[in-house]
A and B are shown apart, each in its own frame.
Chain A
Amino acid sequence: MAYSNKAKDFYKDELNGMHKAGTFKEERFIESPQAANISVEYPVGSAAKEVLNFCANNYLGLSSHPEVVKAAHEGLDSRGYGMSSVRFICGTQDIHDELEKKLSEFLGTEATVLFASCMDANAGVFDVVLGKEDAMISDRLVHASIVDGMRLCKAQLYNYKHSNMDHLEEKLKETQDCRFRMIITDGVFSMDGDIAKLDKIVELGKKYDALVMVDDSHATGFMGKHGRGTHEHCGVLGEIDIITTTLGKALGGASGGCVSGPREIVDLCRQRARPYLFSNTVPPVIITAANKVIDLISKTTDRRDKLEENTKYFREKITAAGFDIKEGVHPIVPIMLYNAKLAQDMALDMYREGIYVIGFSFPVVAKGQARIRVQISAGHEKEHLDKAIAAFTKVGEKYKILGKSKKEIIEMYGY
């Protein structure tokens, strides 16, 4: 083994550096199914503690829904555990085709191809669709998987200030000579929970003959009146060229993602997208469960309606309690604290109060923008929300930040 002390010390130093900088990500062990109520072992080795979960992407509360779990069991019994193959050799079952068709219908697109994750979908799609004579024009706050996907593509890379339509238009003017242009954005941005101006983006796409691509991972299943996503919310259903999204959040939360759009692009992904070609098929249990999820949310909007109500309730109450939050309508509710240590300390105090939330700071968010990101779910009941608000209020009082403005919090704790 050539793993020398020199190498060992080097990697150890890297890890120590992360610990010192406070950027080391610690994993907590959950000893229960994913849900509003979970049992957590933290620190590792301690007795499990019952807490309310406010940091999962379990927007519709379907991660452990009995009908979804039952559908997974049925998939396991009828189609087995693994496929031991990529899709194009012997890894495509009838249920995969069924899910791809259902997703197309739900998203309002022509065709869909499944990937092992949305990270894989984003890593693969750009290189398939664009070449060096083309331009990718992306919002600066797109998800890391899009950044990586764009880096794997030979097209020229441009980006515009976050949600700044004038800046986007400047970039579109700058790239008039390119063969194809693609405007690239998240539907909902994961740190602020703000929504892309898709109506304006579609308008600019038409004006400058540019394709529009949206990663709708934080929206599919609940944004818009029928939960179809940000395009429905913004009134541009059927006008987005390419949608990528995940099965790993609202749609059951297991794993898997997809590229959805015009048939030619989807077919080309099947032929050329490297993460698709060289990853194993999404396993049958996930597929049968995801098929059930689409059935459930197509039949009724009850869950997305409850999520909307929960979000509205939490946002109103936490604002009334005196917290400085990023305004909006999305179940991602960033409670702004600005100072990284304050965010970490408050998150830990919240955990002691039985509420599991996470503090985010640089480099995950911009410097001086530290916050606790709360995520609301349709799985939460009113009493869960009230308990979280009461705990936040108690902890907020301890740190004397209730009713304080951004300026005042920064004066007290610094950036």
Chain B
Amino acid sequence: MSEEIKKLIIEYVKKEYLEEEDEQDVDENTPLISSGIVDSFSMVSLKMFLEKKFDIKIPDEKATTEAFDSVNNIMAILKEFNVS
């Protein structure tokens, strides 16, 4: 199940943030924010996607740039909401 969730998030990140001409690939360890793929302003789409998809509400204090910096980090947040 968690592999499927990871895949789902990776697919979302690629579709939402990468341009067609981008050569960059994304896996579960790829830095998202610190690499500049997702900037802190655009992170809101990712947060909203997770909240809608898994029917959760991630409080702002948990939605830090560090917590969203890779798919694996995001999985750790989801675990707290028993999504795995």
Contact = CB atoms under 8 A, between A and B. Distances in A.
Do these two chains really belong together in a complex? yes
B39 A367 contact: no
A161 B41 contact: no
B36 A140 contact: no
Interface in B12-47: 16-17, 19, 35-36, 39, 41-42, 44-45
B19 A161 contact: yes
A164 B39 CA distance: 17
A169 to B, nearest CB: 14
Contact of A159 (B19, B36, B42): B42
A51 B16 CA distance: 44
Contact of B44 (A157, A161, A164, A367): A157
Contacts of B16: 161
B36 A362 contact: yes
A159 B46 CA distance: 11
Interface residues of B, number: 11
Contacts of B17: 161
B44 A159 contact: yes
B42 A367 contact: no
A366 B42 contact: no
Contacts of A368: 36
- Chain A residues touching B, majority SS: loop
A164 B21 CA distance: 13
Contacts of B36: 362, 366-368
A140 B41 contact: yes
A147 interface: yes
Contacts of B44: 157-159
A147 B35 CA distance: 20
Interface in A132-166: 140, 147, 156-159, 161, 164
B35 A367 contact: yes
A164 B48 CA distance: 20
A147 B41 CA distance: 7
Chain B CB count within 10 A is highest, among A147, A159, A368, for A159
Contacts of B45: 158-159
B35 A140 contact: no
Nearest to A151: B41
Contacts of A164: 19
A367 B16 CA distance: 18
B20 to A, nearest CB: 10
A368 B36 CA distance: 10
A372 to B, nearest CB: 20
Contacts of B42: 140, 159
A7 B42 CA distance: 32
A375 B42 CA distance: 28
A135 to B, nearest CB: 11
Interface string A351-366: 0000000000010001
B35 A159 contact: no
Contacts of A156: 48
Contacts of A161: 16-17, 19
Contacts of B19: 161, 164
Interface in A353-409: 362, 366-368
Contact of B41 (A159, A362, A367): A159
Contacts of A362: 36
B72 to A, nearest CB: 21
A367 B33 CA distance: 11
Contacts of B48: 156, 158
Contacts of A158: 44-45, 48
A257 B45 CA distance: 30
A158 B42 CA distance: 8
Nearest to A157: B44
Nearest to A365: B36
Nearest to B52: A174
Interface of B: 16-17, 19, 35-36, 39, 41-42, 44-45, 48
14 contacts: A140-B39, A140-B41, A147-B41, A157-B44, A158-B48, A159-B41, A159-B42, A159-B44, A159-B45, A161-B17, A161-B19, A362-B36, A367-B36, A368-B36
Interface of A: 140, 147, 156-159, 161, 164, 362, 366-368
- Top 4 A-B pairs, shortest CB-CB distance: A367-B36, A157-B44, A147-B41, A366-B36
Given A140-B39, A159-B41, 20 more contacts: A140-B41, A140-B42, A147-B41, A156-B48, A157-B44, A158-B44, A158-B45, A158-B48, A159-B42, A159-B44, A159-B45, A161-B16, A161-B17, A161-B19, A164-B19, A362-B36, A366-B36, A367-B35, A367-B36, A368-B36
